[in-house]
Chain A
Amino acid sequence: MITLSGVLKTYSSEVAIGPVDLSIPPGGITALVGPNGAGKSTLLVMIGRLLGMDAGTIEVAGYDIARTHSADLAKILSVLRQENHFVTRLTVRQLVGFGRFPHSKGRIKAEDEAIISRSIDFLDLADLEGRYLDELSGGQRQRAYVAMVLAQDTEYVLLDEPLNNLDMQHSVQMMQHLQRAATELGRTVVIVLHDINFASHYADYICAVKDGGVVSFGAPDELMRDEVLTAIFDTEVRVVEGPRGRIAVYY
């Protein structure tokens, strides 16, 4: 369970995120959706303690993130931004190996290697594991970073727009990987998504964010309605019944 109470981040007198009260249930995929600048990523990075908040508390699995040691939090919570500084002389496998740092403190043992191998295979990176990061495409590098946070073996996984840089095939594969991580590995995945249709199809819960506040939270079926989506995105949206669930049409 992730619980936000009275979370507030002020940028200037006009621009502020919150106060937000929100509970994200454990298990499954929760998608944060909303227009640009709504505060989705800000909320996500505040939960991941990458950004300090001005007021309020956030609890993850019962731990107050402001009071818990960062090194302990790293064992229950992992967070990945969309832009990552990368070291050129680092192979995919070495990067994924860093995911074990909270547990191994840099001394990688045999059981760590087994977990690293599993994460790499999970994201179909076995053929690329010896490649250096600067020899990969943006999408491959994105997958390598996701493999790293999976190797971290945390109950909660926060991802900021992991579908950026990915083409149609890899977007779908990434969502399928994350769905398997949620169901097979029992992770709680919180993810910022731009495409409402991906959220509709893969997420168990959708959290709509607008103007720095949460405007609705619920199962995809509750949010996938003409009037709800039109209000969230300020765009004329029609929801139609597709062959595999509801689809928003807004073109």
Chain B
Amino acid sequence: MADLTIAPVRHSGPLPTARSRRRYSAVVTALALGAVLLGFGVLAWDNPMPLGSEGFWTIARMRATSLAVMAVVGFCQGIATVSFQTVTNNRIITPSIMGFEALYVLVQTSAVFFLGAAGIMAVQGVGQYLLQVCLMVGFAALLYGWLLSGRRGNMQIMLLVGIILGAAMGAASTFMQRLLTPSEFDLLMARLIGSIANADATYLGVAVPLAAVAGGLLWSQTRRLNVLALGRETAINLGVSHQRQTMVVLLLTSVLMAVSTSLVGPLTFLGFLVAMLSYQLADTHDHRHLFPVAWLTGFVVLAGAYFVLKHVFYAAGSIGVIIEIVGGGFFLSYILRKGRL
């Protein structure tokens, strides 16, 4: 009689058991299905023209811009936050509190403060968009270059300085906002709440290639990211030059964050929520498996929030609010039930 028990093949792959592989495939399929359904929902729900007619597609095309923006923002925030948390070995903070959003708020506020209501127009346009992205990446490069290079390079101090600089910029913005006239303040507020409606379709021509290049480069570093997650000393032992690698990843992260924040404004909680959900859903340390889940989760969260806001509350765009309420609640219940990050 042939031996009926097949010896389990020992392997070190990112998904250790057949069950975990099935689970991963199911999660990706479910997320992809959710993304398609929500995408279709955004295009077709409440579309007054009959499905498939020419008028239907005209309206759908107008809405497709929002979908593209959500795909870019979900990609940027999801992948940037996962990478950032890996290199900093910290799952509580996100790149958005490192001064990126405060810088965006400061730029927008300054424009209105110094130029009046016309200032809102002065910071719009593809050139201005690019300039704002460069400003944020430059800020990040200075911060990381200054505090992470050299012999005293210290991650904790870098994070602390980043948070303090963010708070200082936030305070400066608040001060200027107090001095604005109510109508100017009103105009400004519309820009400061993270909203899909903030995005201009023309920005996508710049945002998509930038996000694709930064994301592609991060994808090429995924195996090294897996090693960096083991901490500085283990990474060096395994031959990864920790300091250089960390800087490269942080810079790419800052490009993604700048692309997203300049596009739709601050979405402080989105990156955090998406990263947390991705860890739970993907249930693996491997970044090649985490990244796709993070992108899909980001898109589903954004599109879900957008859909609910637009068709239930008739307040298209300002998705930040609903992400924080629903996402925060969901996250809390999940953590309290499972008990681990």
Chain A positions within 8 Å of B, measured between CB atoms, are: 45, 48-50, 52, 69-75, 78-81, 84-91, 93-99, 101-102, 105-108, 112-113, 116-117, 129-130, 134, 149, 152
Q: List, in ascending order, chain A residues with CB within 8 A of B12's CB.
A: 93-94, 96-97, 108, 112-113, 116
- Bound-state Cα–Cα, A117 to B12, Å: 9
Within the complex, the shortest CB–CB distance from A74 to chain B, in Å, comes to 3
Residue of B nearest to A131 (CB): B16
Flag whether B337 is at the interface (Cβ < 8 A): no
Residue of A nearest to B16 (CB): A91
Residue of B nearest to A95 (CB): B230
Within the complex, the shortest CB–CB distance from A83 to chain B, in Å, comes to 9
A101 touching B238, Cβ below 8 Å: yes
Interface size class of B (residues with CB under 8 A): 20 to 34
A71 in complex: contacting residue of B13, B89, B239, B285, CB < 8 Å: B239
User: Mostly helix, strand, loop or mixed at chain B's interface?
Assistant: loop
Q: List, in ascending order, chain B residues with CB within 8 A of A72's CB.
A: 239
- Report B67-95 CB contacts with A as 1/0, cut-off 8 Å: 00000000000000000000001000000
Known contacts: A50-B237, A70-B241. The answer to whether A89 contacts B223 by CB under 8 A is no
Q: List, in ascending order, chain B residues with CB within 8 A of A90's CB.
A: 285
A87 touching B238, Cβ below 8 Å: no
B16 touching A85, Cβ below 8 Å: no
A70 touching B341, Cβ below 8 Å: no
- Bound-state Cα–Cα, A244 to B139, Å: 65
Q: List, in ascending order, chain A residues with CB within 8 A of B10's CB.
A: 93, 113, 116-117, 129
Q: List, in ascending order, chain B residues with CB within 8 A of A129's CB.
A: 10
B229 touching A108, Cβ below 8 Å: no
B233 in complex: contacting residue of A84, A88, A113, A152, CB < 8 Å: A84
A70 touching B236, Cβ below 8 Å: yes
Within the complex, the shortest CB–CB distance from A18 to chain B, in Å, comes to 17
Q: List, in ascending order, chain A residues with CB within 8 A of B240's CB.
A: 70-71, 101
The 6 A-B pairs at the shortest CB distance, nearest first, are namely A74-B239, A106-B223, A97-B12, A85-B231, A71-B239, A101-B238
Flag whether B151 is at the interface (Cβ < 8 A): yes
Q: List, in ascending order, chain A residues with CB within 8 A of B241's CB.
A: 70-71
Q: List, in ascending order, chain A residues with CB within 8 A of B227's CB.
A: 98, 101, 106
Q: List, in ascending order, chain A residues with CB within 8 A of B14's CB.
A: 94
137-163 of chain B: CB within 8 A of chain A: 151
Within the complex, the shortest CB–CB distance from B294 to chain A, in Å, comes to 14
8 contacts between A and B (CB under 8 A): A50-B237, A81-B233, A85-B231, A89-B279, A89-B283, A90-B285, A117-B10, A134-B340
